[in-house]
Amino acid sequence: MVIKMSRPLHRGVPAIRVTSSSNGLLDSQVKEQIEKEELDRNQSSHRSRHRLTILLLKSSLVVIVILALTGSFWWTLSISTSSRGHIFHSSRRLQEQLVSDLWDIGELSFGTSRMKEIEFCPGELENYIPCFNVSENLDSGFSDGNEYDRVCRQGSRQNCLVLPPMNYKIPLRWPTGRDIIWVANVKITGQEVFTSGSLTKRMMMLEEQQISFRSASLMFDGVEDYSHQIAEMIGLRNESNFIQAGIRTILDIGCGYGSFGAHLFSEQILTICIANYESSGSQVQLTLERGLPAMIGSFSSKQLPYPSLSFDLLHCARCDGSFLIEVDRVLRPGGYFVWTSPLINVQSSLRNKEKQKRWNFVRDFAENLCWELMSQQDETVVWKKTSKKTCYNSRISGSGPSICSKVQDVEFPYYRPLQNCIGGMHSRRWVPIEERATWPSRSNLNPSELALYGLHLDELNEDTANYRIIVRNYWSLLSPLIFSDHPKRPGDEDPSPPYNMLRNVLDMNARYGGLNAALLEARKSVWVMNVVPTTGPKYLPLILDRGYFGVLHDWCEAFPTYPRTYDMVHAEGLLSLESSQHWRCTMLDIFTEIDRMLRPEGWIIIRDAALLIDSARVLTRRLKWEARVIEIESNNDERLLFCQKPFFKRQPS
């Protein structure tokens, strides 16, 4: 807006005596001085009028709200009882609109800097993960591998939008995308693939733009034979019997590129890949790009953010002795630990005394953890964790780690330092996997199991029924939008829509895992990362006991994943939860983190209190999201914010 202002007359300019020779120069100086004073007065006057206008607007709206509330109160007292409900609802909606308008004016009062769109990050941050800044860690004195650990510093977050790589392409739909990914989407080059030794056993290039993971190829690292071998070592006929043996969830530590989990997925086995942060050629990034569960783990010095007794089987290559205590903590009673290492090769160990010494140490350490050595073949060994607590008391005094005290044995560790004692012994969830229901019956916990979490069966059934309706509504919203924008892509032929519209979902406030349960019940080919906020009720053990995967997380910190990870982010009640904590971080902080994790053209669904949704709607403009607010007929106190992240292509520099 252009404002024209007339030039005011200024009185009281002092007279200046000048000589004829300097008359022209001084006239010019006096003129400049007068103009500068006039300009300063104009700007000061304009700022004063702007502040006065904003103050008057705020005051007027506050008066209107007070009058509206007062008038509504006295008018409601004077009308018939039969009309009060309708009028109260209309009055309440008017109040909400006034509060929303006050929010917008409040944003305007801070100037255009608060309303302008957030800028894009520099190109070098295309794979940026807050809390994993190696250079900052080195400057702080971290070394010997600890520089790759997770360190969340105050103010480490970048308030910018991460752009995809130059030639980024939308991933191929599942299941095609499980076996073929675009090279440009991940931080690895074709040259690195061919020169990375064992990588060539798992991967091969297709043309110049794609990487193919061929489970049926002779070049592949025999993952099918390997899975079959593990099943036999456990005492099963093949990997299809894992479910009958009580194995549903597997934690794969240092997973390569997720091929072990990709193979087991067809057997209804849920395998989560966890690996350390890597500056290039990341295991986690490639696994996620394939549409498989993965997250970055910082396990060289910290406990994992999972409750004790969480997984049925752990698979690891080259885990050392100190970390075996953490493996024991998260493994269920009667669960299995599969370790693959060159140290196990008998012939190699006999020739190398140092290897033999290290292998003997690990074997004795496992025995002192009350693990039973079940089988040893080639470079693989399988142990079974004891189901009986009495085993720990029968050990020779002073042999192996002691049992943690109640103070040390924290049920919900959040990146605590590794403990040098056996954890999980004080948990009420000490139930051998043989005594648990097998999948999929496991997802429906019985009343005695629910009682451990202070829940009744009716509460879980009500949550399940509610999410059935929610998922049906979400799918109704998504289907026409996705298939109108993208009627067909490579890989859409099998399976048929809508089963391949989404591959993974991040549920930021998962509660009992109801969204996960409803998606599986509706036969959607989707896996869910169930996140339980550190500030909310601790239902993560319940989610894990139901046979789903989940993690504890503080949403005022960055989630341990690479950019462009998830197809959809879902948050129900998260904003209310954070506001009840007096906003330890801003709503904008949370939303920029959502944008970082979400794939281009990904979806955001936020369900929360109406006033919070109205506030969130304002922020979507700054994030460049395409957003709309949807009324929820069954609940007038809540609204749905439905957004899509656009695909912004980076321009050549």
Task: Give residue 18's pLDDT.
Answer: 35
- Domain range 221-438, CATH architecture: 3-Layer(aba) Sandwich (3.40)
Q: Where are the alpha helices (DSSP H) in 148-241?
A: 176-179, 190-194, 199-202, 223-234
Reference 259, options 230, 283, 233; nearest CA is 283
Residue whose structure tokens are 């006033």:
611
- Which residues, at least 6 apart from 556, have a Cβ–Cβ distance to it below 8 Å? 578, 584, 585, 589, 590
Q: Sorting pLDDT into bands at 50, 70 and 90, what band is 642?
A: very high
The residue-averaged pLDDT of 477-499 equals: 56
The residue-averaged pLDDT of 573-590 equals: 93
> pTM score, two decimals?
0.80
Q: Sorting pLDDT into bands at 50, 70 and 90, what band is 313?
A: very high
Per residue in 225-246, pLDDT (tens digit) is 899 999 999 999 999 999 999 9
Does residue 127 have a pLDDT over 60? yes
Per residue in 2-38, pLDDT (tens digit) is 322 333 333 333 333 334 444 443 344 444 555 555 5
What is the C-alpha separation between 403 and 418, in angstroms, rounded? 14
Q: Sorting pLDDT into bands at 50, 70 and 90, what band is 416?
A: very high
Does residue 481 have a pLDDT over 50? yes
Q: Sorting pLDDT into bands at 50, 70 and 90, what band is 54?
A: low
Task: Give residue 51's pLDDT.
Answer: 63
What is the C-alpha separation between 549 and 265, in angstroms, rounded? 13
Q: Which residue has the higher pLDDT, 618 or 23?
A: 618
Q: Domain residues of the chain, as ranges?
A: 221-438, 439-645
Dihedral of alpha carbons 423, 341, 251, 241, sign: negative
The H or E element containing residue 472 is helix 457-485
Tokens of 346: 């008998």
Distances (CA, A) of 653 to 124, 344, 650: 12, 51, 9
**Residue 531 in contact with residue 556, Cβ under 8 Å?**
no
Task: Give residue 65's pLDDT.
Answer: 53
Task: Give residue 264's pLDDT.
Answer: 93
Q: Are strands 566-572 and 638-644 parallel, antiparallel or unpaired?
A: unpaired
Distances (CA, A) of 384 to 183, 317, 325: 40, 17, 14
Distances (CA, A) of 357 to 29, 344, 374: 90, 11, 21
Q: Write out the DSSP string of 110-136.
A: T-GGGTSPPPBPPGGGTT--TT--HHH
Q: Per mean pLDDT, which of 65-69, 84-88, 109-113, 262-266 is the most reliable?
A: 262-266
Neighbours of 565 (CB within 10 A): 22
Does residue 592 have a pLDDT over 80? yes
What is the C-alpha separation between 30 and 15, in angstroms, rounded? 10
Asked if 221-438 and 439-645 have one fold, the answer is yes
The residue-averaged pLDDT of 301-312 equals: 93
The residue-averaged pLDDT of 63-92 equals: 45
For the domain 439-645, what is the CATH superfamily, name and number? Vaccinia Virus protein VP39 (3.40.50.150)
Task: Give residue 132's pLDDT.
Answer: 85
